[in-house]
Structure 1
């Protein structure tokens, strides 16, 4: 299952060191396309659902970011049975990791705009894609001056 994880401080060393896996604590919030989300949206294809789950993770990350900050979301893969629905506080795509686990990093997504700029824009935030081996580059872009 592909999950989307807003970057947390403990994740940074994995990205900085170029690791291909990230350690997840039990209870870690993430966003993913679950069977329930598919059932609730039969008219949407898998790609659209994945996009929505990623954007939900981005929007949650913005709530924790300073107004001048960009945000980074990690896309990672774990077995389906290791997640539980968390729709009560995570929206339609909210999940929680059931147990401490390592997840294989698939890619990184960093917003082009700062949280404040994205807040006044009426479209989904534009994201730059970084390969799983480009964690250091994704962090560098995250720290660069965002597009106003």
Structure 2
């Protein structure tokens, strides 16, 4: 199943080592297309539902960082049997129930920092980076902090 993860310090260390998979522990929050999400957005196709799950992860990432920081979300694949819908994660929230190795599919970095995105009042625009480009994704993420 495709999940969306907000970047943690442990994830960052793995990405800086150019790993193609992330070790995930039970209880880790993520976002994915869920039955609840399908019910909340009837008639939406799978791609639109994935977009909604990704945007939920982006908004959580924004809320945990500085207003002047961009957010990075990791798209990754895990076995379906390792996740359950989260009670507190909104329509797309899931939690890991077992250790899993998440195969990285791509990275998504917000174009704007959190404050600018809030002022824009639309879904944050995302730049897509291939799974083979963790260094480029992290460099773009850090560009705001270096400039500020």
Show CA shifts across 1:33-76 (max 9, x none): 02332244331111110000000000000000101100100000
How do 1:1-148 and structure 2 match up within 5 A?
1-86=1-86, 88-145=87-144
Q: Distance in 2 between matches of 1:34 and 1:80?
A: 11
Look up the SS of the partner of 2:144 in the other structure.
coil
RMSD of aligned residue pairs (Cα, Å)? 1.6
Q: Distance in 1 between matches of 2:39 and 2:91?
A: 11
Look up the SS of the partner of 1:89 in the other structure.
coil
Q: Distance in 1 between matches of 2:141 and 2:92?
A: 24
TM score, norm. by length of structure 1 = 0.94
Does the Cα contact within 8 Å between 2:25 and 2:100 map onto a contact in 1?
A: yes
Look up the SS of the partner of 2:89 in the other structure.
helix
Q: Distance in 1 between matches of 2:80 and 2:2?
A: 9
Q: Distance in 1 between matches of 2:41 and 2:144?
A: 38
Does the Cα contact within 8 Å between 1:4 and 1:53 map onto a contact in 2?
A: yes
* CA positional deviation for 1:136: 1.1
